[in-house]
Chains A and B, each alone.
Chain A
């Protein structure tokens, strides 16, 4: 039997606000335990939440970027359950009236564009963390993360393969980071994903029984977990067994998913409207203001790069994957006027250096201006492409400008025809056999002469000029 996979993803993204969603504590990651807390986020008696407006605006940005409809009146609800990392005994979230609904994003599915629906985006507060002592039957509670703002992006079950799931996540991640509302750090948990997955015989309309997967902290793990889970479900069905609707945890080391203890998921959250907060009213003017603040989003940027800079779709994809990289590239183009060359140097040498050092473009020692200058120097014939390979390496190592490096190393290209004619004459005189063979039809010996000239000039000869002269003089 052929099966179709049905996947729906829920993403939690931490908002990059300075302060928490309902109090003025810092949201910084990594402070001493419980140092970023106050009576409000500690859930002390009698304290009250006051909504951070920035969180609403960040949520609105994501809603607009994903084509959602923003609810003019949305409101908070309490999700009630007991856990030591949840100080109030309830999480303030949105339930019946989320911030936004009915959106979508486009993904590339095996070369085809596919629309993945977004059910809703809502705001909520994060919980704290428990630290378990392995030598002691006790646990410690760190509430620094409590009240850090999150948006939850609930996707429609429109995804049909684990690869598409990873692709969808990458696109969502890219948008969040582009909007500068989330740092996207998956290891620190700023971007988390839960997946609902089921299978059904091809052609069947009804969904199969789904399982929910948790504990996957990278795009790759989401894909691996889904691949494993799809295989597991197929095996069960093919062997006449039932799929149990349950939450399963991904075990990275084993490469398997395992059921969470049922006790931990048997919750009745008793949602009800939070009486301590008033509905969030969003009018058209506010939406318009936020819309104006939206940056160019990755898809639009990619298309513009292809059109405006005449670079291949692949290059445009690489260059727009991160906003600072795209900005760097555009700065270089602006300064040198050579989009294709700029793309080659950025994608080739610059990214290779950065990848080797695990740096990102913001830490690149080569300024956009230096790279543009170098490209111009090549165009002007001041240095050859081959020389530039060494120059850019030095630029990366030292942070110096190409002009400085060229001057220090005396790397000026020889474009003096008379000097080159002398060099070539000497080489021809010293290589009578090769000359005879060349003239006898062994045309590939042309390369030999080019090599000899470059060797004699330590690579400084202008390659074009060498070509021209050799053609004349060997003939």
Chain B
């Protein structure tokens, strides 16, 4: 039961074949069976979930059925949940209990969702492997020796390992799409401004977006219907019409132009990944898509630009964790300066400290123009590359990641190698455009591979349409991880 999709389960619940309580119990028994090995969650909410499921069952009986009524959903521990600890994977917030809900949490709750738990993540979403979590790493259900991707690793594995039906992640440089690819599921990063950031603990405010992880593309559309929309609590939220995303499911892509950016098919990309993505191109063409060669010349600077802008914003966003008002404060400080120093020294992990230092440096007097200023200019060029590319094509197709899941510990001592695992996803955040990762095959060793589609601002519908058309025709083997 726990391996079904939202739309399958909704039918079963409507018909009375399955109750939300049965489904939720099934999910928790699955969690009991596999969580020890995978470690998707920082905190489980079994009691609350069963209460919510019972309420959902009553509502179903009354005929009050919302888009997600009774569906067990996992939340990345970066979205604030009223009265429930929200840690952001960090020691410094290990005991923080928000007195408010993130807007997406309210929306999901109002849509009838049952919250299973708070999913593990890289500390403050800084990482590509979920290894920097204060609560220990999450393991890839396809190979427990390997990382699940990150930073939303727990949200991805919870879906891949059937520890929930769908989940919420956040994507600052690829943190939804990359783990979705490495775990063999669907993950979508919406347009910047499409989904409210209110209550999302900020990493890099101009790049962060919340999005869904699902088992198939239709579920992704269902989740987007709930998540998308203007929020008056966020100034950067955009007042644009939200279509019914489900209408894009099952539509063909006859005559669509599929942009293939030459800069994304580079040396150093894993041959199995390369082969799988090339096969995807064939399938998309069979679906009626026409491939066009496009160029995104400033892509080569994406990682460099990102690793200035994101840490710069983070250095400021994370200044509030000073031990003064809430959460962790060092036990032994003699004066204010020492309280700050020790609280932050003991509260933050190594990767977070590294990025705070990089960001502080990039914004310092005398360096601002050379780093942050220059990066902002190049960012504008990257955005322009995409604007120009979308004059020539409907969507862009790229690999999601350069390699399949790597081994735990393999890149922890080499931050630069780690940063490069987001090379294909980062530019979408810099440009603010939406992107989706869809499974496109497996390596010989049985590791999932993902393909990424990108579209222009607020064109999530196009992404869902091409992804659903591809999903239907590709006939990717329906494998489940063996746990």
Asked if A441 CB lies within 8 Å of chain B CBs, one says no
Determine, out of A82-90, A334-342, A394-402, the stretch whose residues face the partner at the interface: A82-90
Asked if A3 CB lies within 8 Å of chain B CBs, one says no
Asked if A141 CB lies within 8 Å of chain B CBs, one says yes
Determine, out of B346-354, B360-368, B422-430, the stretch whose residues face the partner at the interface: B360-368
Q: A45-B86, A141-B325 are in contact. List 13 more A-B contacts (CB 8 A).
A: A43-B325, A44-B98, A45-B320, A80-B315, A80-B316, A89-B316, A90-B319, A270-B364, A270-B368, A272-B312, A272-B313, A276-B205, A276-B234
Shortest CB-to-CB span from B83 to chain A, Å, is 13
Asked if A428 CB lies within 8 Å of chain B CBs, one says no
Asked if B79 CB lies within 8 Å of chain A CBs, one says yes
The reply to whether A50 and B320 form a contact with Cβ atoms under 8 Å apart is: no
Shortest CB-to-CB span from B200 to chain A, Å, is 5
User: B residues touching A (Cβ–Cβ < 8 Å)?
Assistant: 78-80, 86, 88, 93, 96, 98-100, 102, 197-202, 204-206, 232-236, 312-313, 315-316, 318-320, 322, 324-326, 336, 340, 360, 363-365, 368, 372
User: A residues touching B (Cβ–Cβ < 8 Å)?
Assistant: 39, 42-51, 78, 80, 82, 84, 87-90, 141, 268, 270-272, 275-278
The reply to whether A80 and B319 form a contact with Cβ atoms under 8 Å apart is: yes
The reply to whether A272 and B363 form a contact with Cβ atoms under 8 Å apart is: yes
Counting residue pairs across A and B whose Cβ atoms lie within 8 Å, the total is 104
A89 touching B319 in the complex, CB below 8 Å, given contacts A42-B325, A46-B79, A46-B98: yes
Q: How far is the CA of A84 from the CA of B329 in the complex (A)?
A: 13
- For B93, the closest partner residue in chain A by CB is A45
Q: How far is the CA of A443 from the CA of B37 in the complex (A)?
A: 121
- For A88, the closest partner residue in chain B by CB is B320
Shortest CB-to-CB span from B327 to chain A, Å, is 8
The reply to whether B316 and A47 form a contact with Cβ atoms under 8 Å apart is: no
The reply to whether A49 and B202 form a contact with Cβ atoms under 8 Å apart is: no
Q: How far is the CA of A46 from the CA of B232 in the complex (A)?
A: 15
The reply to whether A46 and B324 form a contact with Cβ atoms under 8 Å apart is: no
CB < 8 Å: which of B86, B100, B318, B340 contacts A47?
Answer: B100
CB < 8 Å: which of B79, B86, B232, B235 contacts A49?
Answer: B235
Measured between beta carbons, the chain B residues less than 8 angstroms from A43 are 320, 325
Measured between beta carbons, the chain B residues less than 8 angstroms from A78 are 316
Measured between beta carbons, the chain A residues less than 8 angstroms from B315 are 80, 270
The reply to whether B236 and A278 form a contact with Cβ atoms under 8 Å apart is: yes
A278 touching B235 in the complex, CB below 8 Å, given contacts A89-B322, A90-B316, A272-B372: yes
The reply to whether B198 and A46 form a contact with Cβ atoms under 8 Å apart is: yes
Measured between beta carbons, the chain A residues less than 8 angstroms from B234 are 48, 50, 276
A47 touching B236 in the complex, CB below 8 Å, given contacts A88-B320, A90-B316, A275-B205: no
The reply to whether A39 and B235 form a contact with Cβ atoms under 8 Å apart is: no
- For B80, the closest partner residue in chain A by CB is A46
Main secondary structure of the interface of B (DSSP, over half): loop
Q: How far is the CA of A43 from the CA of B317 in the complex (A)?
A: 10
Shortest CB-to-CB span from B331 to chain A, Å, is 15
Q: How far is the CA of A271 from the CA of B98 in the complex (A)?
A: 29
The reply to whether B363 and A80 form a contact with Cβ atoms under 8 Å apart is: yes
A-B contact pairs, 10 of them (CB 8 A): A39-B100, A42-B325, A43-B320, A45-B80, A45-B88, A46-B78, A270-B364, A271-B363, A272-B313, A277-B235
Identify the interface centre among A42, A44, A49: most chain B CB within 10 Å of its CB: A44
CB < 8 Å: which of A39, A49, A88 contacts B99?
Answer: A39
The reply to whether A45 and B201 form a contact with Cβ atoms under 8 Å apart is: yes
Measured between beta carbons, the chain B residues less than 8 angstroms from A277 are 235-236
The reply to whether B202 and A46 form a contact with Cβ atoms under 8 Å apart is: yes
Q: How far is the CA of A46 from the CA of B322 in the complex (A)?
A: 15
Q: How far is the CA of A43 from the CA of B327 in the complex (A)?
A: 12
A84 touching B102 in the complex, CB below 8 Å, given contacts A45-B201, A51-B235: no
CB < 8 Å: which of A48, A141, A271 contacts B197?
Answer: A48
The reply to whether A87 and B320 form a contact with Cβ atoms under 8 Å apart is: yes
Measured between beta carbons, the chain B residues less than 8 angstroms from A49 are 235
Measured between beta carbons, the chain B residues less than 8 angstroms from A47 are 100, 198-199
Q: How far is the CA of A186 from the CA of B236 in the complex (A)?
A: 36
Q: How far is the CA of A334 from the CA of B186 in the complex (A)?
A: 77
Shortest CB-to-CB span from B219 to chain A, Å, is 26
Shortest CB-to-CB span from A136 to chain B, Å, is 14
Identify the interface centre among A44, A80, A87, A270: most chain B CB within 10 Å of its CB: A270
Measured between beta carbons, the chain A residues less than 8 angstroms from B80 are 45-46
Measured between beta carbons, the chain B residues less than 8 angstroms from A48 are 197-198, 233-235
- For A276, the closest partner residue in chain B by CB is B205
Shortest CB-to-CB span from B443 to chain A, Å, is 37
Measured between beta carbons, the chain A residues less than 8 angstroms from B78 are 46
The reply to whether B360 and A270 form a contact with Cβ atoms under 8 Å apart is: yes
The reply to whether B235 and A276 form a contact with Cβ atoms under 8 Å apart is: yes
Q: How far is the CA of A276 from the CA of B197 in the complex (A)?
A: 10
- For B199, the closest partner residue in chain A by CB is A46
Shortest CB-to-CB span from B22 to chain A, Å, is 34
- For B361, the closest partner residue in chain A by CB is A270
Q: How far is the CA of A87 from the CA of B322 in the complex (A)?
A: 9
Measured between beta carbons, the chain B residues less than 8 angstroms from A90 are 316, 319
The reply to whether A268 and B365 form a contact with Cβ atoms under 8 Å apart is: yes
The 6 closest A-B pairs by CB, nearest first: A89-B319, A275-B206, A270-B363, A275-B205, A45-B201, A46-B201
Shortest CB-to-CB span from A160 to chain B, Å, is 32
Q: How far is the CA of A278 from the CA of B206 in the complex (A)?
A: 11
Measured between beta carbons, the chain A residues less than 8 angstroms from B326 are 42, 44
Q: How far is the CA of A271 from the CA of B366 in the complex (A)?
A: 12
Q: How far is the CA of A46 from the CA of B336 in the complex (A)?
A: 25
- For A37, the closest partner residue in chain B by CB is B325
Measured between beta carbons, the chain A residues less than 8 angstroms from B236 are 275-278
Measured between beta carbons, the chain A residues less than 8 angstroms from B360 are 270
Q: How far is the CA of A147 from the CA of B205 in the complex (A)?
A: 20
A272 touching B235 in the complex, CB below 8 Å, given contacts A44-B98, A82-B322: no
Q: How far is the CA of A366 from the CA of B320 in the complex (A)?
A: 54
Q: How far is the CA of A51 from the CA of B78 in the complex (A)?
A: 25
Q: How far is the CA of A43 from the CA of B316 in the complex (A)?
A: 12
Shortest CB-to-CB span from A162 to chain B, Å, is 32
